[in-house]
Amino acid sequence: MRKRIVAGNWKMNKTLKEGIELAREIELQVEKQEDKSAGVIIGLPFIHLSEVSKIVNHKLISIAAQNCSSEPRGAFTGEVSAEMIKSTGIEYVIIGHSERRSYFNEDNETLNKKVKLALENSLKPIFCIGEQLEERKQEKQFEAVNKQLREGLFDLDDEEFSKIIIAYEPVWAIGTGETATPQQAQEMHKYIRKLVTETYNQEIADNTTILYGGSCKPTNAKELFSNPDVDGGLIGGASLKADDFFEIINSF
Ligand code: PEP
């Protein structure tokens, strides 16, 4: 059955020294935890990957990059390739975060190339999808998510798709303090799982981890995670404090 996961996304926060300290603090807390069945991932800025990868126990905490290039290598100044990320010893990469989609104009075609390069380099993608506020107001949220999945992921074969984690993050809830209600989250996660069943099969859908993201915090995580199709969270702001992040990890 699918794995439950809590993944932090530090975004563009923390110096290297602060990042090492936070990773150590989180690891200390996870180490003491009795039930270690949920996976813990921290999504770090590129500059932290290599150093943090050397100091954490990968059995307790996995590491994700927050992006990778859509090109394999070459004259792309400032870019970081999937192969380079893999060489730091980490396991995951966040692809298609709404901030990448909106501030850096990343479309589904580009994101599909990133996913394929990540998989070719044995990185597991955490693929983010989610509707804009306008789309929700017009009741077009299912259409929006359907398009992102079809164009971003659904040409993968069964084996490739089984390495994907999906993160449903309604854009209107990211960093805004506004959270989807548990009912809204469950409704969308159920819809996503149904699409995966139709595109692949029931077994693959049952094994796909679908995370919720968008102002998830210690006070609402329990209620969100208690839904049958919500398998954990992608956490932004609340992943920057070890205590808050740990409380969320303990919310299953
Ligand atoms: C995110 O960045 O993926 C996110 C969900 O942010 P926040 O938890 O701060 O809304």
**Number of residues assigned to the chain:** 252
Q: Which residues line ligand 1 (CB under 6 A)?
A: 9, 97, 169, 174-175, 213-216, 234-238
If you measure from the C-alpha of residue 168 to the centroid of ligand 1, how many angstroms do you get, rounded to a whole number? 11
Work out which ligand 1 atom sits closest to the CA atom of 176: 10
Please name which of 249, 242, 250 lies closest in space to residue 6, comparing C-alpha atoms.
249
Instruction: Tell me how crowded residue 73 is: count the other CB atoms within 10 A of its CB.
Output: 12
Task: For 114-137, give one letter per residue: b (16+ CB within 10 A) or e.
Answer: bbbbbbebebbbbbbbbbbeebbe
The residue nearest atom 2 of ligand 1, judged by CA position, is: 236
* Pairwise CA distance, residues 24 & 1, whole Å: 30
- Strand (E) or helix (H) holding 158: helix 158-161
Residue nearest to atom 3 of ligand 1 (CA): 236
Nearest to 212 by CA among 198, 228, 231: 231
77-130 pLDDT, tens digit per residue, is 999 999 999 999 999 999 999 999 999 999 999 999 999 999 999 999 999 999
Mutational test site, ligand 1, from 215, 219, 245, 248, max ligand atoms within 8 Å of CB: 215
Query: What letter represents residue 57's amino acid?
Result: N
Domains and CATH numbers, the chain: 5-249 (3.20.20.70)
CA dihedral 37, 38, 39, 45 (to 10 degrees): -150
Could you tell me which of 164, 252, 172 has the C-alpha nearest to residue 200? Answer: 164
Contact 216, 5 (CB under 8 A): no
The closest alpha carbon to 152, from 110, 186, 190, 121, belongs to: 110
Ligand 1: centre distance to CA 229 (Å): 19
Compute the distance from residue 118 Cα to the ligand 1 centre, in Å: 22
Q: Residues near 33 by Cβ (< 8 Å), separated by ≥ 6?
A: 249, 250
- 3-state DSSP assignment of residue 56: coil
**Looking at the predicted structure, is the pLDDT value of residue 177 above 90?**
no
pLDDT at 246: 96
- Mean pLDDT for all residues in the chain: 97
Residue 1 has pLDDT above 90, yes or no: no
pLDDT of residue 114: 98
As annotated, the active-site residues are 97, 169
Average confidence (pLDDT) over 64-80? 98
Q: For residue 211, what pLDDT is reported?
A: 98
Q: Give the phi and the psi of residue 192 in degrees, each rounded to 5.
A: -60, -45
Task: State the distance from the centre of ligand 1 to the C-alpha of 222, rounded, in angstroms.
Answer: 16
